[in-house]
Amino acid sequence: MPDDACNSAASGETYDAVVIGAGPSGSLAALLLARAGHRVMQVERQRFPRAKVCGCCLNQRAQQLLDRAGLLQGLRSLRACPTDRLRLHSSGRRLSISMPGGLAISRRAMDQWLAETAAAAGVQFVDECTAEVLPEECDSNAATQHQFPAVRRIRIESSTGSRVISAKVVLVCDGLGHPSVAGLPGFQSAPRADARIGLGAVLTTAESANWLASGDILMAAATGGYCGAVRTEDGSVNLAAAVDPAAIQSAGGPRQCLQQIFRESGVQVPQELETVSLRGTVPLTRRSLRITGPRLLLLGDAAGYVEPFTGEGMAWGLTAATLAAPLASSGIRAGWTTALQRQYERQLRTAVVSEQTVCRTLSWILSRPRVLQLTVAAAALLPAVAGMLVRRVNRIPISLESRR
């Protein structure tokens, strides 16, 4: 054991749970564990509040899960914008799909509010600190119950130095590629060879606001990728795109690539796109080989990523938090077991992974212009089928319904 770990044990920095990351999955899980009476620390790498590349659409499933946790009223008080229609543009064709009951809110506002709500429930929140879960001998072995370490050690680095804390359970909610456990055996997360990357921007001029009707989710799909746009609580327009790295290169840069997507799909290019600052992500679509380990559960994007269509990503993260919190709580109280890990894997598979099939299919269609044109034409003829798909990704999975 390194010296600093000994110091940590000596200084008594042992928590029931350490939650890594303050996106929706991390903050909901931290909040639920604090409400269950546990001593929780939440560690976030960035300085809060922070922006994030995201379409900012909360679907009905996400809202229902927040409602179950008593959080929906609070979210509404942030003046999240209601959305009710998806307008898909591709090669000059348009398709309008009714999607009532959505909400759009900037991730800056939502994630800050969720983290503050968790802190008010007793979670000790630290931002501007990077967490890394330290390896244990049992990570490489198929551990039986008595082989689990009593606690898991986590190194936390900030601008003022580094320290090691311990926890009975670590919830890894650190997003794409789960960097905090990437060094542990079996936890590597390689992106798919054809993975797109995310791009995001916030348009703030009055001209940009007029470009998009309130309540609409605009989706422009073209050869190099697709870009969604929605108005959020302060009237600004949030852009979020998934684009092929090759399309960025051939367009001459990310900005030009977004402009090309709008032009090709038949949407007027917003002028502000010339000057606005853009954010990017690492490659998106990836699978996590392991989503559990000794005293470890992975949640949200950390557990794997499928390109969301409109509003599924956060719903999946909130679903994972709803499933993981009671299992983590039982691991803290009664001791960790491999059965707990298997139970979480099974539940997550049933509630999330099988639901992702619809989005995988939509993402496949969106990346093939010919197929997309046919789909747009077919969906215009068969709006009931399009509506059915939307309802499917919006519903609360039966496995969660039965826990009410």
Residues that bind ligand FAD (CB under 6 A): 20-26, 43-46, 52-57, 130-131, 173-175, 179-180, 198, 240-242, 281, 284, 300-302, 308, 310-315, 317
CB of 217 to ligand FAD, least distance (A): 8
CB of 241 to ligand FAD, least distance (A): 6
* Residue 345, helix vs strand vs coil: helix
Which residues make Cβ contacts (< 8 Å) with residue 207, sequence separation at least 6? 270, 271, 272
CB of 147 to ligand FAD, least distance (A): 26
Q: Which two tokens stand for residue 96?
A: 């309008």
| Cβ nearer to ligand FAD, comparing 143 with 258 | 258
| Cβ nearer to ligand FAD, comparing 242 with 258 | 242
Contacts 24+ apart (CB under 8 A), 136-139: 136/294, 138/294, 139/184, 139/185, 139/186, 139/293, 139/294
- Nearest Cα neighbor of 217 from 92, 105, 368, 52 is 105
| Cβ nearer to ligand FAD, comparing 208 with 363 | 363
Phi, psi of 228 (to 5 degrees): -105, 150
| Cβ nearer to ligand FAD, comparing 117 with 310 | 310
Strands 286-287, 130-133: pairing kind: unpaired
CB of 392 to ligand FAD, least distance (A): 15
Amino acid at 199: L
- Where do the DSSP E strands lie in 24-106? 40-43, 57-58, 81-90, 93-104
| Cβ nearer to ligand FAD, comparing 254 with 317 | 317
Q: Which two tokens stand for residue 361?
A: 């299919």
CB of 335 to ligand FAD, least distance (A): 27
Element containing residue 246 per DSSP (H, E): helix 245-251
| Cβ nearer to ligand FAD, comparing 143 with 366 | 366
Find the residue with minimal CB distance to ligand FAD.
300
Tell me if 50 sits within 8 A of 108, measured CB to CB.
yes
CB of 93 to ligand FAD, least distance (A): 22
